[in-house]
Structure 1
Amino acid sequence: MDIKKDILYSEKLGRDMQVSIYGHYGISVLMFPAITDNADEYENEGTINAIEHLIKIGKCKVFVTSSIDKEIWFGGSMEPKEKSHLHFKFNQYVEDELVPYIYGNCGGPLPVITAGAGKGAYHAANSFFRRPDIFLGAIAMSGDYDLGIHTYGYFDDNCYYNSPIHYLPNLNDNYWLSFLHSRRHIYLTAGSGKGENPENSKKLAYILTSKGIRHHFEIKDENYSHDFKSWNAILNSIIEGRL
């Protein structure tokens, strides 16, 4: 399996971002870290090993970006307004810098599916729902899609447009809905075991159904907890059986 660790300087964020790349060919899967901000997290936690057989045969090519969550809503000492602005810059990095980087690495604008678990599931879902014109779909495992839970009462327009639970119910623009209605690779999953809160995924699935957006939604049993063992098994199942 081809492995490459690259540094992508982000003009939007004014810093280096690490991108870990696994594979040589296939549908591009852009992953966001689940717990840390480390681009090597999924390699360290056995996720890449769990799907290595799929990567080797060219089923997918995985790109894992580092994140800045510890500075914004999941930690950090900045004022909420600054965190909101930094989140805006992170979106710009993903959409305007990281996606073109992936295209360049793959030799052209091939399909990109976002993916992640935990807080990475939030970013995977939010990135896709914000820009279904550039992403083919999303794999979101054990996520929380209400940004308001993490902003402690602060909720400006940027927070609103980064909170799928809030902006999707009010999305009536046919231009964006046409993209969402045409997508076939939206996967929401959660377990019923230790540390899981499947209600978060149920809320998002309900909204998608109400908007006529087709998706695959599954609540696993109590054997699936909020951990990498569960996420690795789920990701392998989706990529192998659905993509």
Structure 2
Amino acid sequence: MEEQHIKYYSHHLDKEVEMLVFGNWGYPILLFPTTLGRYYQAKDMGLIESVRWLVESGKYKIYCVDTIDADSWYGKHLNPEYRVLNHIQYDKFLKNELVPHIKHECNVGKIGVAGCSFGGFHAANFAFRHPEMVAYLVSMSGAFDIRGFLDGFYDDAVYFNNPVDFMPNEQGWRFGHMKIVLGTSDWDICLNSNLRMSGILNNNGIEHWLDIRGWEKHDWPLWNKMFPDYLSRMVLQ
């Protein structure tokens, strides 16, 4: 399986962002790490290995990107207002720099986004904020309410980065093209978060698949089973 280590300079973040890219062709999936995880986490924890055959056969090309969580949502050394503003810069990096680069490199009009746990939040937040750029969303054990990270601080910037707040007021037709998977399990600490998000999507007439697996914990063994199953059902249909 072809693997590349890339340092991508971001003008919005004014620093290099590291990535691992797996595969040399195929439909692009932008994969976010879990809480405070790095770009190599998905490889280290077996998630990339779980989809090796899909990558090696040229079905997918997977971009594992770093986040700036330590200076945004988890940046307790910063005032909450600045945590949100830093995330907005990260979103601009994705929207204006990285995703256009991926689209051009893979010759596609839209990409897929995916993530586990807090990476599921990143994937969902980006997809729901920018549906014109995303065709596939895979959230595994994601949570979708960011307010608990901000010590009571709330403004419009928080609202527009908090899917449980802004999605009830969105127009469902904007997401009609998107294939959406919300994966969770009976023992998942984020089960209720996924039930809540599924209800919001249902109320807006947004088609999606809420996949609740039996007797699995919020951890990598669950996600390593989910990821190849979800990817094999999507572009290969």
TM-score (norm 1): 0.93
Q: Which residue of 2 aligns with 1:199?
A: 192
| 1:242 equivalent in alignment to 2:237 | no
CA distance in 2, matches of 1:93, 1:37: 18
Instruction: Identify the match of residue 208 of structure 1 among 186, 201, 206.
Output: 201
Compute the displacement of 1:196 (Å). Answer: 2.2
Residue 110 of structure 1 and its aligned partner are, at CA, apart by: 4.5
**Does structure 1 residue 131 correspond to structure 2 residue 130?**
yes
Does residue 233 of the first structure (1) align with residue 225 of the second (2)? yes
Give SS of 1:39's match: coil
Q: Superposition pairs for residues 137-152 of structure 1, below 5 Å?
A: 137-152=136-151
1:68 match = 68
Q: Does 1:58 align with 2:58?
A: yes
Q: What aligned pairs does 1:95-114 form with structure 2 within 5 A after superposition?
A: 95-106=95-106, 108-114=107-113
Distance 2:191 2:34 in 1: 16
Number of the residue aligned with 1:189 = 183
- Is residue 37 from structure 1 mapped to residue 30 from structure 2 by the alignment? no
Give the Cα separation in 1 of the matches to 2:137 and 2:29.
9
Paired AA for residue 186 in structure 1: I
Q: Which moved more, 1:113-122 or 1:27-36?
A: 27-36
Matches within 5 A, 1:11-22: 11-22=11-22
Partners of 1:112 and 1:10 lie apart in 2 by 19
**3-state SS of 1:182 partner:** coil
Partners of 1:74 and 1:192 in 2: how far apart?
27
More strand by share: 2
Shift of 1:144: 0.9
The unaligned stretches of length 5 or more in structure 2 are none
Q: Percent identity?
A: 26
Q: Which runs of 5+ in 1 are unaligned?
A: none
Contact 1:27 1:112 in 2 (8 A): yes
The code of the aligned residue for 1:165 comes to V
Once the two structures are superposed, the pairs formed by residues 163-178 of structure 1 within 5 Å of their partners are 163-172=162-171, 177-178=172-173
Question: 2: distance between equivalents of 1:154 and 1:209?
Answer: 29
* SS in structure 1 at match of 2:8: strand
Paired residue for 2:175, among 160, 180, 184? Answer: 180
Moved over 3 A (4+): none
CA RMSD in angstroms comes to 1.3
Counterpart AA for 1:229? P
SS at structure 2 position matched to 1:220: strand
For 2:6 and 2:183, how far apart are their aligned partners in 1?
30
Q: CA deviation at 1:221?
A: 1.1
